[in-house]
Structure 1
Amino acid sequence: MGSIHEWKAELYDDKLGFVSQYGRGILEILNVQQGERVLDLGCGTGDLSHEIGELGASVIGMDLSEEMMARARNKYPEINFVRGNAESFTLNGPVNAVFSNAALHWVKNAEGVIASVWNALEDGGRFVAEFGGKGNVEMIVKSITDVLAQDYAVDANELNPWYFPSIGEYSQLLEQQGFRVTYAVHFDRPTQLEDGENGLMHWLNGLAADVFFKDFSELEKKDIFTKITNKARASLFNGESWIADYKRLRVVALK
């Protein structure tokens, strides 16, 4: 959902489908009630917005990516999808719940997100979110960082678009806003990437190419991705598939 990342919506659906698949766990925690108004913040191509609607809610899907929004509207024309920035959005009226899956680690201005969510919720409303937590994709980021530093004299830390907080960091921000945090967990989720040997290549192309490697040509990117996969192989490839070292933060907070 970050403004500097150009989303590839078709690749997202075809090769990164695990993102919405894993979101179904947090959807159970949302526990949608018939007739509720729910905002799906950072909705991507709309799969979980659709499921929320199927559970009986009136759902608004919001994302910053025009390409994601276009694909979502094409897939689910019955849903109200609106373009918006998670760190500074407003709605026409309050919602019962704000839901977010695998999006908020793209937004470094966490205070802005939390304030916008607070303002969007009715009194007693709930914020239910899952996103990358402290240590998420640490081995992948280390491989990216090492290759860029050693071979290209590029500091990947300056380019890193992600915000991966601990439970303590994020709960404190929520409480400073006035939320009551009722549930928070930080857990490992080793995630098998799709398409066997090519899994990490797809991941890099879909989630990292336009932030870490935007100044490189397509040919250079291919060479860099090969170096990164070679460096990460011992830690993350099991002989058949790439297993990304995901660590997730899941929170529920009440206004």
Structure 2
Amino acid sequence: MNTQDWNVALYDGQHSFVTQYGKALLDLLAPRPGERILDVGCGTGHLTKRIADCGATVIGLDNSPNMIAAARCAHPDVTFVLADARDFTFDEPFDAVFSNATLHWVTPPEAAARCIADALKPGGRFVAEFGGAGNVAHITNAIRNTRYALTGEDHPHGWFFPSIGAYASLLETYGLEVQAAWLFDRPTPLEGEDGLRHWLTMFGGEMLRGLAAEEIAHVTAQAERTLRTTHYRDGQWFADYRRIRIVAVKTGVEF
């Protein structure tokens, strides 16, 4: 699993787009009063709270103690649990499992798919969005190439960015039938002149792992120079996001 130390203030402050873009996914989930719903990778719990406000009984799950502590503080009326998306169980099944901007962090993906399928009732739905094939490819290539030129090491980013076909096949293995899927570009604005640098601090820890502070500064500065002509305009950086969005139903039939 791609490990990450989460800075809650930076996440909710300069990267609040994670929650803002997730609101559209809630329309696909369409939570109903009385439903039992699990939010996998709930972060600071803002989308979990929106699900609860629809009248559903919702549980937010995250493997970050910092995120869970912040979620419990912000939304004391919602249940949050500290658990690994690759290894969780509940006594009662769910009508739906929801996940926004999380599953590209979770490897091996088979473990998460198995847990999600096991958590659903027959006929229950799985609604998710996360990084898809080609996500932030320009940014990761710039960092990877600069790091290689500096150290001679080829250090992969560690994320899971699948195609629709690959992910649909994976879900079917565990009895989840994909009913709708999208893979789309979503250039995402990053806040301020230092937006790319802050993004790397927030999300790029694996790509920079093992480097000394002065090496990180060099790699980051070189990546900014490389990307400025294509990813910076009108005083703002943009990340080359590509998202995969999935709606699947548990059939109970494993392919």
The reply to whether TM is greater than 0.5 is yes
Deviates more, 1:34-43 or 1:212-221: 212-221
- Figure out how many residues of one structure are paired with residues of the other and give that number: 250
Residue 34 of structure 1, CA deviation: 0.6
Corresponding position of 2:220: 225
Alpha-carbon distance in structure 1 between the residues aligned to 2:158 and 2:8: 19
Residues 154-186 of structure 1: per-residue CA shift (max 9 Å, x gap): 2122xx220000000000111121122111010
Residues 42-78 of structure 1: per-residue CA shift (max 9 Å, x gap): 0111110011111111110000111111111111111
Residues 108-150 of structure 1: per-residue CA shift (max 9 Å, x gap): 2111111101110111100000000000000000111111001
Residue 223 of structure 1, CA deviation: 2.9
Q: Aligned to 2:135, what secondary structure does the other structure show?
A: coil
Q: Aligned to 2:185, what secondary structure does the other structure show?
A: strand
Amino acid in structure 2 at the alignment position of 1:167: I
Amino acid in structure 1 at the alignment position of 2:78: I
Q: Are the counterparts in 2 of residues 3 and 64 from structure 1 also a CA contact under 8 Å?
A: no
Alpha-carbon distance in structure 2 between the residues aligned to 1:95 and 1:80: 14
Corresponding position of 2:184: 187
Corresponding position of 1:86: 85
Q: Are the counterparts in 1 of residues 2 and 159 from structure 2 also a CA contact under 8 Å?
A: no
Amino acid in structure 1 at the alignment position of 2:231: L
Residue 188 of structure 1, CA deviation: 0.6
What is the correspondence of 1:144-155 to structure 2 with a 5 Å cutoff? 144-155=143-154
Q: Are the counterparts in 1 of residues 130 and 243 from structure 2 also a CA contact under 8 Å?
A: yes
Alpha-carbon distance in structure 2 between the residues aligned to 1:165 and 1:3: 15
List runs of 5+ in structure 1 lacking aligned partners: none
Q: Where does structure 1 differ by over 3 angstroms across 4 or more consecutive aligned residues?
A: 217-220
- For the pair 1:134 / 2:130, whether they are aligned, the reply is no
Find 1:198's aligned residue among 173, 194, 198.
Answer: 194
Residue 240 of structure 1, CA deviation: 1.5
Q: Are the counterparts in 1 of residues 164 and 244 from structure 2 also a CA contact under 8 Å?
A: yes
Alpha-carbon distance in structure 1 between the residues aligned to 2:91 and 2:194: 44
Corresponding position of 1:254: 249
- For the pair 1:208 / 2:208, whether they are aligned, the reply is no
Corresponding position of 2:159: 162
Corresponding position of 1:69: 68
Corresponding position of 2:253: none
Q: Are the counterparts in 1 of residues 45 and 75 from structure 2 also a CA contact under 8 Å?
A: yes
- Percent identical: 43
TM-score (norm 1): 0.95
Residues 184-236 of structure 1: per-residue CA shift (max 9 Å, x gap): 01011111111x21110110000013x12232333432332111111111121
Deviates more, 1:69-78 or 1:212-221: 212-221
Q: Are the counterparts in 2 of residues 144 and 156 from structure 1 also a CA contact under 8 Å?
A: no
Alpha-carbon distance in structure 1 between the residues aligned to 2:180 and 2:163: 14
Corresponding position of 2:170: 173
Alpha-carbon distance in structure 2 between the residues aligned to 1:122 and 1:110: 21
Q: Aligned to 2:236, what secondary structure does the other structure show?
A: coil
List runs of 5+ in structure 2 lacking aligned partners: 251-255
- For the pair 1:95 / 2:91, whether they are aligned, the reply is no
Amino acid in structure 2 at the alignment position of 1:35: G
